[in-house]
Structure 1
Amino acid sequence: MKVLVTGTAGFIGSHVALELLRRGDEVVGFDNLNNYYDVGLKKARLARFLGHPRYTHLHADLADRDAVEAAFERHRPQRVVHLAAQAGVRYAAENPHVYVSSNVTGFLHMLEGCRRHGSEHLVFASTSSVYGANTAMPFSEHQPSEHPLTLYAATKKANEQMAHSYAHLYGIPSTGLRFFTVYGPWGRPDMALFLFTKAILAGEPVPVFNHGRHKRSFTYIDDIVAGVVRALDRVPTKDDAWRGESPDPASSGVAPYRLYNIGSRESVELLRYIEVLEQCLGRKATLQMLPLQAGDVPSTEADCSDLAHDMGYSPQFTVEEGVENFVRWYRDYYHLGAAVPARQYA
């Protein structure tokens, strides 16, 4: 297939692009390489496949309507994996307009591209953050998610609703994937594992919010990629069992539309996550215990039974394996020398 993948210089997008190329697809990458974090890291991710005979890169911004339209007009992708967005939950509090421009207006431009050029399937990134104030565990796509606690989560919830409306009005098959705390090699420098590793190696205190009582469905990048690719290959249809008098948020009786959680097998306490990191680094962390931050939820736990049932999704990596792989990559990328047993990483 020819697949348009947005965010190919990003953490998840670069891994997805690489996997699609490995299996023989043609990939059109779309990324603006903004400076929200180290552009050098983004370029290094791209360097893994830039120049591949089946890869074409477009340096453009989602908020640029003409650029998005030109991408669809010129390349006519059969399917679309939309992963680009302005990342960073707390960054949104200070830069709300950037989030709406990228995550809402940019998403509208993608939907319009799919509509105008007949794309067969749109797979787009949502987030576990949409569950917000919901405390019923594990989080299920069949539960309401009407109380997001951050603007970032609100923009992703808006994406889900916009996709459903376009699926209904124009018949664009759409699948939304709610990612749960993704980590692994080539990760984002603003994410916890990256920040913790840097601080521990520098001998600096590690800020631990909610006094370490957070629990998260930490999900290794290879498991995420496997789920994304499986979702791309399964085009949703209308749900014949759906009823308007008791509407299921995860599917639709009036549109080819589906929502799925994509997470790990278990929820792990943050202090355990740090303990595994200490073991991999061979160093003890100095923990700075802090209260819960505004917008944070104490725990996430993913119910991925629908993704398992419909697509055979089965996460393979434990936190111990995933953190070890990240540390090996981190030491290699920053030329710090090996300190953990050899294990292949992507």
Structure 2
Amino acid sequence: MRGHRVVATGRRALGHPDYVQQDLTRTCNFKATPDVVVHAAARSSPWGSERKFHQQNIEATRHVIEFCRSRGRPHLVFISTSAVMYTNAHQFDLDETSPLPSHAINRYAASKRRAEALVQDYEGPWCIVRPRAVFGPGDTVVFPRILKAARTGRLPIIESDQPVKGDLIYIDTLVDYLLRIVELRTTGLYLLTNNCPVLILDFLGSVFARLKLPTPKRRVPVGRAMATAAVLEAAYGLLPFLGEPPLTRFGVSVFAYSKTFDVSKALRDLGPPSVSLGDGVNRFVESLLQNPTP
């Protein structure tokens, strides 16, 4: 990072001099006294137990804040999610002033919403960012599930009442925004996207074609898809050893309802995206072609 020494933390053991192994679900015990803390660790998944989301997203954030309080209250940058704003309906041009729904769309969103509240109570300077659909090399959340379903022929077309649009953000764009926030000591709440909403089916179709994956053909009405997902969630909830169900209500919602954002505040304070969406997709597809998933 430009002119800064960076110390990273994580649960895994890595042989790097600027890395400290630390499970954030426990009290932070490393000795660094930072100027800025970027809290990016989270359970980012559409599925999981309430206990795991509480431990990894709420308690971990609480421990990070306690660490900051014990180190002179440095600038805290918290990576949240735009999912805290979602409902099972089309939502267009959401911005930082848009009210949050009365009920979170899933456990992940609920846990991040509670973590945001903890950050907002922090006595030092803080910045919360809500990125939308982060993708790029190393993605373990968004595209792996989609590509696996497409590769096995299990990805349906969810029939909505209108073409579904959505915003995304390329990983390098997000990282560069975080660097700007650190360098400018920016505070407050920011929505972050590539400021380039796409038609979801057309966007995925172009990616599938470049990866030589089959185009989804099977059409399922959104009501039936939601009902099927609810049954699967109930069954997998009773039998946790099965892991994540092949279809979740959140997953259906992603394909059934538009989500676009007005990022005028970020454009004004932080500047334009550093990598265009088109260039980001090209880089991502190239990485997948070079390192295909088995």
Q: Does the CA-based 8 Å contact 1:226-1:313 persist in structure 2?
A: no
**Counterpart Cα distance in 2 of 1:113 and 1:161:** 17
Structure 1 equivalent of residue 208 of structure 2: 278
- Structure 1 segments of 4 or more deviating over 6 A? none
Aligned residue type for 1:269: L
**2:287 is equivalent to residue 329 of structure 1:** yes
Q: How does 1:1-346 map to 2 (within 5 A)?
A: 20=1, 23-33=2-12, 51=16, 56-65=18-27, 68=28, 70-71=29-30, 74-89=31-46, 91-92=47-48, 95-133=49-87, 135-147=90-102, 148-166=104-122, 170=123, 172-188=124-140, 190-191=141-142, 193-198=143-148, 200=150, 202=151, 204-208=152-156, 210-211=158-159, 213-236=163-186, 257-290=187-220, 291=222, 293=226, 294-295=249-250, 296=253, 298-318=257-277, 320-334=278-292
Determine the C-alpha separation between the residues in 1 that align with 2:291 and 2:133. Answer: 22
* Whole-Å separation in 1 of the counterparts to 2:185 and 2:219: 46
Worse overlay, 95-104 or 257-266: 257-266
Q: Could you say what secondary structure the match of 1:321 adopts?
A: helix
Q: What is the rounded CA distance, in whole Å, between the counterparts of 1:160 and 1:115 in structure 2?
A: 16
Contact 2:84 2:113 in 1 (8 A): yes
Mapped to 2, the partners of 1:146 and 1:284 lie a distance apart of 36
Count of residue pairs brought into register by the alignment:
261
For 2:94 and 2:205, how far apart are their aligned partners in 1? 26
Identity %: 24
Structure 1, unaligned runs of 5 or more = 1-19, 34-42, 237-256, 337-346
Please tell me whether the aligned partners of residues 216 and 270 of structure 1 are also in contact (alpha carbons under 8 angstroms). yes
Contact persistence 1:280–1:324 (CA under 8 A): no
Contact 1:264 1:302 in 2 (8 A): no
Higher relative contact order (CA 8 A, sep 6+): 2
Q: Distance in 1 between matches of 2:173 and 2:5?
A: 22
TM-score by length of 2: 0.80
CA RMSD of aligned residues (A): 2.5
1:335: Cα distance to partner?
8.6
Residue 75 of structure 1 and its aligned partner are, at CA, apart by 1.3
Q: Which amino acid aligns with 2:86?
A: G
When normalised by structure 1's length, the TM-score is 0.68
CA-CA distance at 1:135 after TM superposition: 5.0
Kindly indicate whether the alpha-carbon contact (under 8 Å) linking 1:175 and 1:258 is maintained by their aligned counterparts in 2.
yes
Distance between the aligned counterparts of 2:91 and 2:218, measured in 1?
A: 29
Distance 1:284 1:28, change over 3 A: same
Give the Cα–Cα distance (whole angstroms) in 2 for the partners of residues 228 and 208 of structure 1: 35
Is the deviation greater in 213-222 or in 105-114? 213-222
Q: Retained in 2: the 8 A contact 1:184–1:221?
A: yes
Instruction: Report the AA paired with residue 70 of structure 2.
Output: R
| Cα distance in 1, alignment partners of residues 109 and 210 from structure 2 | 32
Structure 2 unaligned regions, length at least 5? 227-248
Aligned to 2:9, the other structure's residue is in SS state strand
CA contact (8 A) 1:266 1:301 kept: no
